């Protein structure tokens, strides 16, 4: 069986603006996949191509083994979607919207709906115009999570939620994972991605710059080391070591960054000079992103 999402070389332009410039993305069955990138990188455009709302200019996009543009009705029965900016009908109640979206998808799990309403603490009798941003988001989340969809597409789903509700959301994504369903989660909240995702893809300016498990990605980056040495060597001597960068020597205190692959050799070299104190910090996800987002 093919992967739920397979995208290669996807292109999409709006007039002269290039939104997607040869994007690649593969999401495997049963994984929670983090989808990251700066504002305007093309995350929402990618998701909207997958939903068949936008027609790609070039490249391949396969959704659950089908064509997202032509096989709309058949594919959409098997997916659920939460947009980043949830717009609801102002004159319908939250409960009506949840039921409507479920019926349009082809069915509703009533027990799960009521459970979700209780856990998200959402009043379904209010008109949508009276909901705050967070509550509108909850309506879309309840509608999506109460479905039996095998693939869930979340576009920054927790942007308006309070930490308590964020927790509820994470619990539900964990449940989805245990049920073997697949999730594509676009997000800016790095702690959320770190806690939830099995693999991540980072995109910038419409192209994929990194893709892999968090452990793999960490490997590509540098560990920062701060040490106080008994007999500090010269800065040039340290800089000559393989995989060492940005050496700063301040008396007996040395700060450097080392390629994660060479960290063992670097530490032994420092050891020869008598380590008194040592702080070694693996790259945080944040640094990973900063490196990928910037350059």
Partner 1 sequence: MTASLVGTGTLARLAVRRDRVLLPVGILGITIFAVSSAKATLALYPTVASMDAGIKTIFASPSAVALYGPISDPTDPDALAVVKTTMFGAVLLAIFGYAVVRRHTRSEEEDGRFELVGAGVVGRRAPLTAAVAVATAAVLATCLLTGLGYAAIGMDVAGSLAAAAGWAATGLAFVGLAAVAAQLASTARGCAGLTMGALGVLFLLRAIADAGTGVPGWLGWVSPVGWTSKAEAFGADRSWVVLLGVGLLAVCLLAAFALLQRRDLGAGLLPARRGRANAGATLAGPVGLAWRLGRSSTIGWTVGMLVGGLVIGSLAKSAMDMFADPAIADLLRKMGGGVGLLSDVYLSTELGFIAIIAAAYGVTTVLRWRAEETQGHTELVLATADSRTRYAASHLLVALLGTAALVFALGLGTVLADASGGGTLGGAGRVLPAALIRLPAVWGCVGVAVAAIGWFPRWTAAIGWGALAFFLVVGEFGGVFGMPQWLMDLAPFTHVPRMPVEAFAWPPTIALTAVAAGLCIVGVLGFRRRDIG
By the criterion CB under 8 A, which residues form the site for partner 1? 48, 51-55, 72-74, 76-77, 79, 81, 83, 85-93, 95-101, 103-106, 124-127, 129-130, 140, 153
- Could you tell me the smallest distance in angstroms from the CB atom of residue 159 to partner 1? 15
Of 209, 186, 207, nearest in space to 20 by CA: 207
Give 100 or 241: the residue with its C-beta nearer to partner 1: 100
**Which string of b and e fits 24-55 if b means at least 16 CB within 10 Å?**
bbbbeebbbbbbbbbeebbbbbbbbbbbbebe
Quickly count: other Cβ atoms within 10 Å of residue 265's Cβ.
15
Pairwise CA distance, residues 49 & 35, whole Å:
15
Give 52 or 232: the residue with its C-beta nearer to partner 1: 52
- Could you tell me the smallest distance in angstroms from the CB atom of residue 184 to partner 1? 13
- Could you tell me the smallest distance in angstroms from the CB atom of residue 91 to partner 1? 8
Of 88, 77, 75, 29, nearest in space to 49 by CA: 75
Of 190, 198, 193, 240, nearest in space to 216 by CA: 198
Of 240, 227, 237, 239, nearest in space to 271 by CA: 227
Specify whether the CB–CB gap between 10 and 46 falls below 8 A.
Answer: yes
Give 156 or 210: the residue with its C-beta nearer to partner 1: 156
Give 55 or 231: the residue with its C-beta nearer to partner 1: 55
Residue by residue, DSSP assigns 121-171 as: T--TTSBGGG--HHHHHHHHHHHHHTS--SEEEEESTTTT--HHHHHHHHH
- Could you tell me the smallest distance in angstroms from the CB atom of residue 150 to partner 1? 13
Give 141 or 244: the residue with its C-beta nearer to partner 1: 141
Give 93 or 187: the residue with its C-beta nearer to partner 1: 93
Task: Measure the N-to-C terminal CA separation of the chain; round to a whole number of Å.
Answer: 37
Give 125 or 295: the residue with its C-beta nearer to partner 1: 125
């Amino acid at each position: 069986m093919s992967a739920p999402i397979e995208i290669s070389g996807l292109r999409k332009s709006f007039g002269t603006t290039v939104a997607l410039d040869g994007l690649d993305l593969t999401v495997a069955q049963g994984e929670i996949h983090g989808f990251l990138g700066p504002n305007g990188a093309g995350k929402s455009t990618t998701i909207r191509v997958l939903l068949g709302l936008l027609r790609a200019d070039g490249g391949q996009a396969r959704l659950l083994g089908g064509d997202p543009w032509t096989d709309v009705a058949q594919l959409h029965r098997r997916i659920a979607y939460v947009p980043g900016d949830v717009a609801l009908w102002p004159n319908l109640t939250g409960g009506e919207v949840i039921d409507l979206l479920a019926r349009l998808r082809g069915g509703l799990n009533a027990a799960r709906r009521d459970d979700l309403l209780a856990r998200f603490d959402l009043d379904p009798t209010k008109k949508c115009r009276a909901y705050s941003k967070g509550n509108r988001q909850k309506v879309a989340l309840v509608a999506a999570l109460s479905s039996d969809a095998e693939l869930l597409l979340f576009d920054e789903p927790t942007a308006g939620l309070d930490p308590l509700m964020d927790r509820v959301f994470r619990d539900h994504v964990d449940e989805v994972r245990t049920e073997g369903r697949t999730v594509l989660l676009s997000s800016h909240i790095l702690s959320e991605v770190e806690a939830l995702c099995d693999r991540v893809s980072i995109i910038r300016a419409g192209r994929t710059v990194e893709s892999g498990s968090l452990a793999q990605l960490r490997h590509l980056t540098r560990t920062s080391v701060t040490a106080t040495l008994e007999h500090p060597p010269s800065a040039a001597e340290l800089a000559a070591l393989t995989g060492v960068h940005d050496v700063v020597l301040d008396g007996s205190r040395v700060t450097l960054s080392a390629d994660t692959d060479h960290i063992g050799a670097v530490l032994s070299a420092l050891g020869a000079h008598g380590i008194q104190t040592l702080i070694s910090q693996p790259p945080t996800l944040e640094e990973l992103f900063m490196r990928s987002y910037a350059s």
